[in-house]
Chains A and B, each alone.
Chain A
């Protein structure tokens, strides 16, 4: 046993030499605690507080050695926690904001006080209540998600009458009052609705300057996940929640009207490249204990990713650059191997998946998925609360610790009059810095559409001039064209430091909402400017169909087409393509099946893919399913596949 122990230490030591700038540490949790960590914070005196999905609050003064004690239990899926003291802790649980107090001094809460519940809930599975932060005046801020029609929405005993009217063409509705909003609650429990237009605003943060930010998750109207600067009275894009505004006068038919009302996100987090479901944004206020990114924003993601954001104000509004910070294998191959991460296989607009970059993980990194909650500890380490229920596997609590050695990274990207200034954490190779071949710069847009959007109007934008600083720590790239309304992607893949170290994350996205002169995008927000060239139709493409099936369908219908209980919802069953007979799915006509794929199936968990897949992709995947699992499965795939007639 002693030999094993020594071998272990040697193994760990060798790994430690490889892993250098940041380490991931595992926080061991007591056996009595379910490790679905859904909230993490620290008390003013430095004790660590976590909440978990089953509804417990745990606290310890010493995360390294314990002991832990259970402060509260029996809460309904708390997703936010804020500790005002060792004896007073607030949580957002599904139906309310709750103040927990220990008035007896025994270390456990004896009072569970409803501080506010002035928004409506049903029993729909997706009605998450997020948060929790407080501002300089002691007000609490929280956010509410829209329900999801993949599960039932009960109308039994609602807090307020439900309103099932569609505002526009939303898939996720807002039947309950203030669903899809950010809300503010005063210390004595009075609620004020702040801003609307959110879909599933899973992360809420307040900057050191007091500005409120939200991360929202991509889907209908939200083309890619976002970091939003929340300002009172504004609307941020998802139509459903508009009905709860005082000035709402009825359904809005015109998308252009919504587009005019909408405030864009401060920073877009491109789907795939920068994850798929962002969690809590936290500001590095450690004063350098966490490395060279003081004042920047860190955002956990449901995938094995933590992103970093540099914000600046341009013409009075926030915008800025997003970078990967820590990521495990997030490439397409890894995502498809981990079929549990099904949310990533439904990219915005259908072709987002191609933007997953197969970048190797940081050496030694073993970041888990589910990084929805984060908090900086007093010692400057970053704690990650992880929960993945129903979407993937991997729960727990980890922390990121800076080793003291600065990583070689793009520290920030700032907008200039004619392009961007890229600053680095270290002096870079002077020759490479000034070489145009170092810099791959491209741009694209997302459209504002009810069904979401792929990247459009993509083009390369090679720098027209490069001005490198003498100290090698920054460079200005002149870019043409430089226009508002685009995301600019900067990829100096081969750039190395002056001492020959590669950039750890050679990828940045700058969201240009405004130029320095204040000019904004004036073109169509819901239509591309570059029309894709039409290709001749050569009939169904079985290989393309196979890829689509592997990406979108396999999670429910299985690799062998046998379907069955859905992951995370075994009571719901996906169609079995191997079934035969008149009731079998594949006995339906192509027209019927295309309709089902496009619009979903009523009374069935099959979601609509019309906004996700192009018509050619639907045709291809149907041909693949018929050929592989249907009665035509023995035909030569090389044969021309004829679709069944609806006659």
Chain B
């Protein structure tokens, strides 16, 4: 509501009266509060500039870093963004929980013929059917990565989708000490090197899950 602000700064009495007058006039906001999954672009530890903090639920969170190459860390817990919001010179957000999955290799998803220099372009993200879907191109080929919590509630399902007729992809999977990682829809041609042909299902999944 408008509150005409006509008070002289020196008029303490008027200020008090104004505050009394204004009490109870809080403006209503419709209920569009962020729901899970929820995505926050921010400064994340060990990530490139302006990565994403993604809270999949009250108990599973991750860092998605498009400049590194996707899901960089997964943990059971949440994210504290307050260090990024408190001051002029901000600090990265805090991971609340223990990271059980970590990727450090730049652009682990690449076209088979890309060699060591894949060309990634981040295209954005969307919410659909209760999931969050990140989109990017790899050497011009559009890739969608849908994220959802796995059935155990201790891991993340990453489902990659490619357009019909896309060239074969490679994913370089790093060894994990604290996570079991299952891969569906591809073939491991060398240790950690998975090849995916888009011809059959058009999708493959990587599911990191925290070890007990």
Please give the residue numbers on chain A whose beta carbons come within 8 Å of chain B beta carbons, in ascending order: 4-5, 7-8, 11-12, 15-16, 18-19, 23-33, 53-55, 58, 63-71, 73-76, 93-96, 98-99, 107-108, 110-114, 117, 121-123, 125, 127, 150-151, 154, 156-159, 328-329, 361, 363-364, 366, 389-391, 398, 567-572
Closest to B44 in A: A123
Residue of B nearest to A7 (CB): B17
Assembled-state Cα–Cα distance A27/B40 (Å): 27
Which residues of B have CB within 8 Å of A108?
32
Q: For the complex, what is the distance from the CA of A572 to the CA of B3, rounded to whole Å? A: 39
Residues of B within 8 A of A (CB): 1-9, 11, 13-14, 17-18, 20-22, 25-30, 32-34, 38-43, 46-50, 52, 65, 67-68, 81, 85, 87-92, 106, 122-128
Say how far B123's CB is from chain A's closest CB, in angstroms: 5
Flag if B88 contacts A28 (CB, 8 Å): no
Set of chain A residues within 8 Å of B21, measured between Cβ atoms? 4-5, 8
Q: Could you tell me the distance between the alpha carbons of A11 and B106 in the complex, rounded to whole angstroms?
A: 65
A98 touches B124 (CB 8 A): yes
Cα(A7)–Cα(B14), bound, Å: 9
| Minimum Cβ distance to chain A for residue B71 (Å) | 14
Question: In the assembled complex, how far is the CB of residue A54 from the closest CB belonging to chain B, in whole angstroms?
Answer: 6
CB of A366 within 8 A of CB of B49, answer no
Is B1 a contact partner of A64 (Cβ separation < 8 A)?
yes
A569 touches B65 (CB 8 A): no
A residues in contact with B88, CB < 8 Å? 125, 389-391, 567-569
A159: which B residues are within 8 A, CB to CB?
A: 48-49, 67
**Known contacts being A30-B26, A366-B5, is A158 close to B33, with CB within 8 Å?**
no
CB contact under 8 A between A12 and B6, given known A74-B41, A157-B49, A568-B88? yes
In the assembled complex, which residues on chain B have CB atoms less than 8 Å from the CB atom of A24? 5
B52 cross-chain contacts in A, Cβ below 8 A: 74
Asked if residues A123 and B126 are in contact (CB atoms below 8 Å), the reply is: no
Residues B28 and A67 in contact, CB atoms below 8 Å apart: yes
A-B contact pairs, 26 of them (CB 8 A): A8-B18, A11-B17, A19-B6, A25-B4, A28-B1, A28-B3, A32-B29, A33-B29, A67-B27, A68-B28, A68-B29, A71-B32, A94-B49, A107-B30, A112-B39, A127-B49, A150-B89, A157-B48, A363-B8, A364-B5, A364-B7, A366-B7, A568-B87, A569-B87, A569-B88, A571-B89
Which single member of A7, A26, A76, A154 contacts B5 (CB below 8 Å)? A26
Closest-by-CB residue of B relative to A570 is B87
CB distance from B145 to the nearest CB of A (A): 14
- Other A-B contacts than A28-B25, A28-B27, 10 sampled, CB-CB below 8 A, are A5-B21, A15-B8, A26-B4, A68-B30, A70-B29, A74-B34, A110-B127, A158-B67, A364-B8, A568-B89
Cβ contacts under 8 Å, B48 to chain A: 123, 156-159
Count A/B pairs, Cβ under 8 Å. 198
Nearest chain A CB to B40 CB, angstrom units: 4
CA distance A33 to B34 in the complex (A): 12
Tell me whether B27 and A66 are in contact (CB under 8 A): yes
A98: nearest residue on chain B (CB-CB)? B124
| Complex contact B124–A112 (CB within 8 A) | yes
Output the least CB separation between A343 and chain B (Å). 10
A64 to B28, CA, bound (A): 11
Contact B124 A113 (CB under 8 A): yes
Contacting pair A157 B26 (CB below 8 A): no
* CA of A75 to CA of B52, assembled, Å: 9
| Complex alpha-carbon distance, A616 and B50, angstroms | 44
Question: For B22, what are the chain A residues with a Cβ–Cβ distance below 8 Å?
Answer: 28
* Structural contact, A25 and B3, CB atoms closer than 8 A: yes
Known: A70-B29, A390-B87. A121 touches B6 (CB 8 A): no
Cβ-defined contact, A69 with B1, below 8 A: no
| A residues in contact with B18, CB < 8 Å | 8, 11-12
Query: Which A residues are CB-close (under 8 A) to B14?
Result: 11, 15
Given contacts A54-B85, A70-B33, contact A112 B126 (CB under 8 A): yes
Among A4, A68, A95, which residue has its beta carbon within 8 angstroms of that of B17? Answer: A4
Structural contact, B34 and A64, CB atoms closer than 8 A: no
User: Which A residues lie within 8 Å of B28 (CB)?
Assistant: 30, 66-68
